[in-house]
Each structure stands twice: as structure tokens, then as C-alpha cells.
């Protein structure tokens, strides 16, 4: 283990013998779609149970539960990490913690779990993240203290969450990146269509079946606890399809008005979709895997987190990935596959240009413009997709990364040890 900290470059760590065993996710439901009534806790339970099963371990093998949820959107949201662990069958004596680094929170569950293993506080960690953006509430802060005459105020919490009050709204940060790097509307639309086309191709060849757990109405039970009843809409049976994905043409995309800035580049078609969904993964120490004869998908080599000007937050992966490469002595040409969350087309293109990336090895199965971006689940989805694809292609190294609201970025380097 070797750690690194620099207030300009960022903070990182190289791990010893920690592995990404396997994972699972739900299909992602479009805004107010099939998953709209399902709490993020239940979405994470679905994914966590599947991740445990796919990893070939038992719930009692888990030593730590790391969970993430950004927009608390259920009445029992305070208990989310604990309830995920309990209803995933993990023993009552195993603690759970909530993590929040906005769009990078899914990655944070992995790095925090790896930190716990490194510190000797665990052999196995379960990492989970879920978001139900459809259930984001309409809020009125201060109602407990009463209202001045005529000053009753309610706001859409989801809409407000997209505005960094210290800088500019999230979409405007993408426009700032576009302006700085001279990214055109055509550039953004071409990339947006590529993301959608790649996702459709992944569906058509059945690629996603191995990572998506089917969802149905059910009851989660745990010994000594009240049952959790999960009701999907009546017509939803065996939910396995990402609802946000739909085919589009450059001509149709070009007809849309820009969303954040007049004469800008970002539209609804080349920005990440607002969706509901959950994801989970198991990470473990090598010695544990050896005793069980388990074969992991990849090794968690190193992680890095950096920060930058909030007004161009979309470039956050740039310093984080640069730090990963510096710490490990690798060059960008050594990386065979890359996943960078597509918050916005201009944001991805900005990172692509700054890092000198080869688009042919980036987001090869599509990204958040197609699938959507359920904030706390995204980093786990990217890590799972990347690790699976590295094995399919025989690639040694891969990096998964995301920009983060407020001006941050985080990244994880994975190694395929199955070559």
C-alpha cells in the first residue's frame, strides 16, 4: 500500500491484493417510469443480493457494508445503508456506512471498502449505490418555524440539486467546457449518438444480461425484522430493460433546442438521462478469495480523487486520471479500456481532448447519455461494465472515472489478472 497527497494534483492510494470479485445492477428506469415507486433502499437490496450471489460468497462472509445514496427520497432514507445490509442477509453484527461524493459516490464505496480491507478491518466489503430521482420531493425548508404572510415557498428538490449555488448549474459547466475547448453542437450530437448506438448494440448482442438482475414485486425478509414489501407498477413484470435508451438520428437530435444556454451545445439528447436504479459489487482480499477458490473479475490497483474549478467541473476526470498514471508509472497508451461517465457530451469530449484519449476504447458499450445517470449507482455500473469488458477483450488495464458536481473527479485503475 502506498498513499499520495498533493493539494494541487489530488489524493490517491495504490492497493495491495484487493480484488473486484463481481457485481450486479438493476435495469435503469426512466424518470417517472417503471421504477418510480421503488425506494433507493430497495433498489440497492435487489442489486446487493444479486452481487453476493454472482460473487460466489455467502452474506455472512461480508465484513463491511458501504452504501451510497445522494437524493434521499424515501421516508426511511436515514437508515438506507443499514437496511441494505440487513435485508441482503448480512449478519446484524456487521456495520454499515453512508458515503456521499455526489456523482462519484459509487466509486467512493469501492475505495472506502478497499481502505477498510487495507486497514485490516475487513476481508470482504459489499459496496452498493442507488438512486430514485423520480421520488425526489418537493420541499419547503423552514416550515417547522412557520411562514411569513404570503411567503409559503416550495421547490423541486431534484431541479435545485442540479444547481451549484457556489458557481453555475451543472449543465452550464458543460457549456463552459465547450466554450473553453471549442466543442461544437455537432461534436456533442455526434458523440451523443455514438453513445446511444453502442448501448443499443450491447443490448442486441445480449451483453447486459450478465450484469442486470430482473426485478419483480416482492417481499424482502430478514430474521427478527419487519418484512419490506416492494411493489412495482402492476404491468411491470421481470423488469430487465434500461428504459432511457432510444434510437435517434443526427437529424432529429439537431432539431432539439439547447437546454442550458442559447446557442449552446447541450440538449436533452446529448446529456445524461435522469433515471432510477441501483448497483452493487463485492470486493475482497486475495487471501480470502484463495481460501474459497474464487475467481475475481479484476484487481483494484489504485484510486485517485482530485478537485478543480467548479465552473468546469466536467473536466474532473482529467487530474484524477493523470494522478493515477503518475502514481502507477503507467502511460495513457497502457490503458486498454476507459469508462468516463457521460454527464454531458461536451464534458466527455473535453476530457477526451485534454487526456488525448482514443474514443475507440472509451465507453465501448455506451454511457450515461444512453443508459442514464442514477447518481450513486453510476460508479459501480462503470466499474462492473469495465471489469467485464476487460475480460472479454483480454485487456490488462482499465480506468473508470467520473466528474463530480462542485468541481471534483475520481478514478479507479483496474487490472485484469485473468490473462
Measure the CA angle with vertex 309, ends 307 and 313; round to 5°: 75
397: Cβ–Cβ under 8 A, 6 or more apart, which residues?
Answer: 301, 330, 334, 335, 336, 337, 390, 413, 414, 415, 416
Place of cell 461534436: 187
With contact defined as beta carbons under 8 Å apart, do 85 and 387 qualify?
no
Name the nearest CA neighbour of 376 among 57, 112, 58, 50. 112
d(CA 342, CA 83): 30
Q: Cα 70 from chain centroid?
A: 11
Clarify whether 403 is annotated catalytic: yes
Residue in 103, 127, 172, 351 annotated catalytic? 103
Instruction: Kindly list the catalytic residues.
Output: 103, 403
Amino acid at each position: 500500500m502506498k498513499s499520495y497527497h498533493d493539494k494541487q494534483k489530488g489524493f490517491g492510494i495504490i492497493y495491495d491484493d484487493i480484488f473486484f470479485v463481481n457485481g450486479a445492477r438493476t435495469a435503469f428506469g426512466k424518470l417517472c417510469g417503471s421504477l418510480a415507486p421503488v425506494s433507493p433502499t430497495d433498489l440497492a437490496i435487489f442489486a446487493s443480493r444479486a452481487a453476493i450471489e454472482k460473487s460466489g460468497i455467502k452474506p455472512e462472509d461480508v465484513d463491511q457494508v458501504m452504501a451510497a445514496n445522494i437524493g434521499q427520497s424515501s421516508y426511511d432514507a436515514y437508515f438506507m445503508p443499514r437496511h441494505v445490509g440487513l435485508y441482503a442477509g448480512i449478519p446484524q453484527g456487521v456495520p454499515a456506512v453512508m458515503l456521499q461524493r455526489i456523482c462519484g459516490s459509487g466509486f467512493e464505496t469501492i475505495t472506502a471498502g478497499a481502505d477498510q480491507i487495507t486497514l485490516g478491518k475487513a476481508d470482504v466489503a459489499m459496496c452498493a449505490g442507488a438512486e430514485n430521482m423520480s421520488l425526489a420531493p418537493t420541499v419547503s425548508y423552514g416550515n417547522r418555524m412557520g411562514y411569513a404572510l404570503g411567503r409559503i415557498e416550495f421547490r423541486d428538490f431534484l431541479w435545485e440539486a442540479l444547481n451549484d449555488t457556489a458557481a453555475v448549474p451543472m449543465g452550464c459547466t458543460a457549456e463552459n467546457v465547450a466554450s473553453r475547448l471549442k466543442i461544437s453542437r455537432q461534436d456533442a450530437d455526434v458523440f451523443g449518438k455514438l453513445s446511444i448506438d453502442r448501448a443499443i448494440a450491447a443490448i442486441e448482442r445480449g451483453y447486459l444480461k450478465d450484469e442486470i438482475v430482473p426485478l419483480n414485486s416482492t417481499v424482502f425478509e430478514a430474521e427478527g425484522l419487519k418484512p419490506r414489501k416492494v411493489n412495482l407498477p402492476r404491468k411491470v413484470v421481470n423488469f430487465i430493460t434500461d428504459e432511457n435508451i432510444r434510437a435517434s438520428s443526427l437529424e432529429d437530435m439537431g432539431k432539439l433546442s439547447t437546454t442550458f444556454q442559447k446557442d449552446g451545445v447541450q440538449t436533452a439528447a446529448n446529456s445524461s438521462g435522469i433515471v432510477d436504479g441501483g448497483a452493487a459489487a463485492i470486493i475482497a482480499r486475495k487471501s480470502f478469495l484463495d481460501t474459497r477458490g474464487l475467481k475475481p473479475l479484476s484487481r483494484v490497483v489504485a484510486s485517485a480523487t482530485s478537485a478543480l474549478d467548479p465552473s468546469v467541473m466536467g473536466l474532473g476526470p482529467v487530474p484524477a486520471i493523470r494522478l493515477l498514471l503518475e502514481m502507477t508509472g503507467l502511460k495513457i497508451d497502457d490503458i486498454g479500456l476507459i469508462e468516463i461517465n457521460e454527464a454531458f457530451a461536451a464534458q466527455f469530449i473535453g476530457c477526451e481532448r485534454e487526456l488525448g484519449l482514443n474514443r475507440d476504447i472509451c465507453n465501448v458499450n455506451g454511457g450515461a447519455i444512453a443508459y442514464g445517470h442514477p447518481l450513486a449507482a453510476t460508479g459501480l455500473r462503470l466499474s462492473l461494465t469495465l471489469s467485464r469488458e476487460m475480460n472479454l477483450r483480454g485487456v490488462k488495464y482499465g480506468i473508470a472515472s467520473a466528474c463530480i458536481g462542485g468541481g471534483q473527479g475520481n478514478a479507479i485503475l483496474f487490472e485484469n489478472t485473468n490473462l
